[in-house]
């Protein structure tokens, strides 16, 4: 007994230092700000930033940060960062988070967990417009919150420099800048406008920094402040004659409207200019001026004139719909014909039956059938296996459907790439994407193979050891801000019954199976080669968009009619930011669009260091 007690004491002395070392605090400290506002606010259909600040007071470490969503266990987003001793680093991890879940951020080094923190999240509604507010006074636009608009206060020091991380906002209003924007932040805002956002910039005394920051894209040249500016035009827009009871007069900037811009009020207090698919609005007065008026909410809704936006990636992440698999027009394998299969089955029956019997009877060794029959079966099975291996091949196949959304007068676009990766055998692959790629999976991604964990932090985004089952097509979603290779010019006008004018393809891309669409009206254009000019005569009342058979090419990789049906009919209730009653199928809103196809695609993935991709590109280009 005494000997046992001594042994226990000895083990305690040996293990105690290890336990103390394991429980000692880490030399790495981590702070986190998550969400659109840094306070956990997020939209389940869009990406949002997670800002992570790390400080290392110990030896050099390589730290892996992992975002774990409680209701998306098969998809974890990682960031790998080298952290030398004495270093302090700030990184931004792009995150997409499903609705209704919570999340935790975990830091590990050398396989050992260093730190873990639960991240509180606040979910925005799918069906309400979202306004981001840059102002020291968060009560500005409080009336819009009551009027079914989600207002999110923003911190200029936390504003992302990646336009994809701004896509959750329909409007960003800049009343004042409490800190100067970095050039990358400003560029991201302008790109976001090109991609469909609405930027509102306010004037007045508090707006000087905002005016200076965005002077080159404003619809006006801004002059000095004026006092006692009448508000007659603002009353006209709001539709309430009592506005002067709350705001007798304004202090506003003098402005000169640019030739390409539009004055919403005749006195220049409100003006706008179209920039790509979005617009920039300038209010020559302090944006907080109208908050005492009951007409404020209606006033700004009319000024914004928001159009529903199509968010394809957000829809595909939640709809359990594999657009690639449902729209393929060609088989990915060269399967044998029905006649070949019938010949194979007939040969098997004849050989293992009468021929087998006649040969054994001629040899007078019918008893050998106990051996030769199983042997023939094994030979046929082996031949079938070899044939199937030859049919499937040994190379992984990559199928890409790129959907580019842009505007005719804009060099910038948003591209949603759907990648289908087909493996001939169950095998693991290393996938490499460009550094600006944002990677997610379909809602049913867990049923297509093993976990998919994209890793950020280097010059590229990587997915290591992605296992794909034999003959399984696994689809990934890759979102990017890209350039718009399609350039179109037009002089379309509306005469109350139809859109008329000419359309010219001034870019280098040939558009095939092109159509011009307004709401649910369609005119077939066919092939638009570079330099081609066509007449547009798009009448109201036809209701023919996707209801008439489109004479699309039949030898394409994708069934183009099926892709359009899928997007503008089946998906429409999910892809619009704030749905309105429309006669499906249709493009929502008042915009006129050209839809066209290209047989060329820009590959966005390398698999095990090689890039072999087949695909097509659908362009959705807004004309006006």
pLDDT at residue 444 above 70? no
For 96-138, write each residue's pLDDT tens digit.
888 877 889 999 998 889 999 999 999 998 888 999 999 998 8
Q: What percent of the chain has pLDDT over 70?
A: 87
With a cut of 90, say whether residue 394 has pLDDT above it: no
- The more confident residue out of 419 and 446 is 419
Q: How confident is the model at residue 447 (pLDDT cuts 50, 70, 90)?
A: very low
Distance CA 393, CA 333 (A): 8
With a CB cutoff of 8 Å and minimum separation 6, the contacts of 8 are: none
pLDDT of residue 217: 93
* pTM, rounded to two decimals: 0.85
Dist CA 405 CA 415 (whole Å): 6
Segment 279-302 mean pLDDT = 86
DSSP single-letter state for residue 383: H
Q: Concatenated DSSP letters for 523-552?
A: EEEEEE-TT-EEEEEEETT---TTTSPP--
pLDDT at 376: 81
- Inter-residue contact 311 to 588 (CB < 8 Å): no
Please give, one letter per residue, the 3-state secondary structure of 203-265. Answer: CCHHHHHHHHHCCCCCCEEEEEEEEEECCHHHHHHHCCCCHHHHCCCEEEEEEEECCCCEECC
Which comes out higher in pLDDT, residue 349 or 175?
175
Kindly give, in sequence order, each residue whose CB lies less than 8 Å from that of residue 449, ignoring residues fewer than 6 positions away: 466, 467, 468, 469, 472, 474
Instruction: Give the pLDDT confidence score for residue 320 in this predicted structure.
Output: 64
pLDDT at 535 over 80: yes
Check whether 372 has a pLDDT greater than 50: yes
Q: Is the pLDDT of residue 232 over 90?
A: no
For 354, other C-beta atoms within 10 Å of its C-beta total: 10
Average pLDDT over the chain reads 83
Q: What does the DSSP assignment read for 300-351?
A: HHHHH-----B-HHHHHTTS---HHHHHB-S-SS-PPPHHHHHHHHHHHHHI
Q: Is 351 left (phi over 0), alpha (psi -120 to 50) or beta?
A: alpha
- 458 vs 270, higher pLDDT: 270
Percentage of residues in the chain having pLDDT higher than 90 = 34
Higher pLDDT, 306 or 281: 281
What's the confidence (pLDDT) of residue 373? 82
pLDDT score of 294: 76
Q: What is the DSSP string of 94-145?
A: EEE--TT--EEEEEEETTEEEEEEEE--EEPPSSS-EEEEE-S-TTTTHHHH
**CA pair distance 150, 136, nearest whole angstrom:** 18
| Rounded Cα distance, 277 and 579, in Å | 19
For the ranges 10-14, 135-139, 480-484, which has the lowest average pLDDT?
A: 10-14
* Tokens matching residue 176: 């004042």
pLDDT at 583: 58
Nearest in space to 294 (alpha carbons), one of 228, 249, 247: 247
Does residue 153 have a pLDDT over 70? Answer: yes
Cβ atoms of residues 397 and 613 within 8 Å? no
CB 165 within 8 A of CB 193: no
Query: Once rounded to an integer, what is the mean pLDDT over residues 252-277?
Result: 91
CA–chain centroid gap for 213, Å, is: 28
Task: Tell whether the model's pLDDT for residue 448 goes beyond 60.
Answer: no
Using an 8 Å Cβ cutoff, are 396 and 467 in contact? no
Of residues 528 and 358, more confidence is placed in: 528
């Amino acid at each position: 007994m005494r000997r046992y007690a001594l042994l226990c004491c000895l083990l305690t002395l040996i293990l105690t230092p290890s336990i103390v070392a394991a429980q000692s605090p880490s030399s790495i400290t981590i702070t986190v700000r998550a969400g659109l506002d840094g306070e956990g606010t997020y939209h389940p259909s869009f990406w949002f930033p997670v800002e992570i600040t790390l400080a290392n007071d110990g030896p050099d470490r390589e730290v892996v940060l992992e975002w774990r969503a409680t209701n998306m266990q098969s998809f974890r987003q990682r960031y790998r960062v080298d952290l030398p001793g004495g270093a302090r680093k700030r990184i931004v991890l792009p995150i997409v988070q499903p609705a209704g879940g919570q999340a935790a951020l975990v830091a590990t080094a050398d396989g050992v967990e260093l730190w873990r923190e639960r991240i509180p999240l606040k979910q925005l509604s799918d069906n309400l417009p979202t306004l981001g507010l840059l102002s020291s006074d968060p009560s500005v636009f409080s009336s819009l919150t009551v009027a079914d608009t989600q207002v999110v206060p923003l911190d200029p020091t936390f504003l992302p420099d990646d336009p994809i991380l701004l896509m959750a906002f329909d409007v960003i209003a800049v009343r004042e800048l409490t800190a100067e924007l970095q050039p990358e932040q400003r560029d991201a805002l302008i790109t976001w406008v090109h991609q469909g956002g609405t930027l509102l910039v306010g004037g007045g005394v508090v707006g000087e920094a905002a005016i200076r920051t965005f002077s080159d894209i404003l619809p006006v040249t801004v002059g000095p402040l004026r006092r006692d500016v009448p508000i007659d035009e603002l009353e006209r827009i709001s539709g309430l004659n009592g506005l002067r009871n709350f705001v007798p007069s304004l202090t506003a900037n003098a402005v000169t409207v640019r030739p390409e811009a539009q004055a919403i009020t005749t006195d220049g207090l409100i003006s706008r200019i179209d920039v790509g698919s979005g617009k920039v609005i300038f209010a020559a007065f302090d944006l907080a001026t109208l908050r005492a008026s009951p007409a404020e909410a209606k006033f700004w809704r009319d000024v914004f004139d928001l159009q529903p936006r199509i968010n394809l990636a957000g829809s595909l992440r939640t709809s359990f719909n594999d657009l690639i698999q449902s729209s393929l027009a060609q088989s990915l394998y060269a399967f044998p014909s029905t006649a070949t299969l019938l010949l194979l089955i007939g040969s098997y029956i004849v050989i293992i039956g009468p021929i087998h019997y006649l040969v054994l009877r001629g040899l007078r060794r019918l008893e050998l059938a106990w051996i030769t029959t199983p042997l023939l079966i094994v030979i046929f099975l082996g031949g079938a296996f070899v044939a199937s291996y030859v049919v499937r091949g040994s190379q992984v196949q990559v199928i890409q459907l790129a959907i580019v959304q842009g505007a005719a007068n804009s060099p910038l676009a948003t591209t949603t790439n759907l990648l289908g990766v087909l493996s001939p055998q169950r095998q693991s692959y290393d996938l490499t994407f460009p550094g600006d790629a944002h990677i997610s999976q379909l809602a049913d991604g867990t049923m297509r193979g093993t976990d998919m964990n994209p890793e950020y932090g280097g010059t590229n985004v990587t997915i290591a050891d992605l296992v794909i089952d034999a003959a399984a097509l696994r689809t990934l979603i890759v979102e990017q801000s890209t350039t718009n290779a399609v350039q179109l010019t037009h002089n379309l006008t509306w005469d109350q019954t139809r859109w008329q004018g000419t359309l010219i393809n001034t870019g280098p891309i040939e558009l095939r199976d092109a159509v011009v669409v307004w709401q649910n009206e369609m005119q077939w254009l066919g092939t638009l080669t570079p330099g081609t000019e066509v007449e547009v005569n798009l009448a109201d009342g036809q209701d023919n968009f996707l209801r008439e058979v489109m004479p699309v090419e039949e030898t394409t990789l994708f069934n183009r009619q099926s892709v359009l049906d899928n997007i503008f009919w089946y998906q429409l209730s999910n892809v619009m930011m704030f749905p309105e009653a429309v006669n499906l199928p249709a493009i929502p809103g008042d915009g006129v669009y050209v839809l066209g196809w290209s047989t060329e695609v820009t590959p966005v993935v390398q698999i095990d260091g090689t890039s072999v991709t087949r695909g097509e590109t659908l362009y959705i280009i807004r004309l006006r």
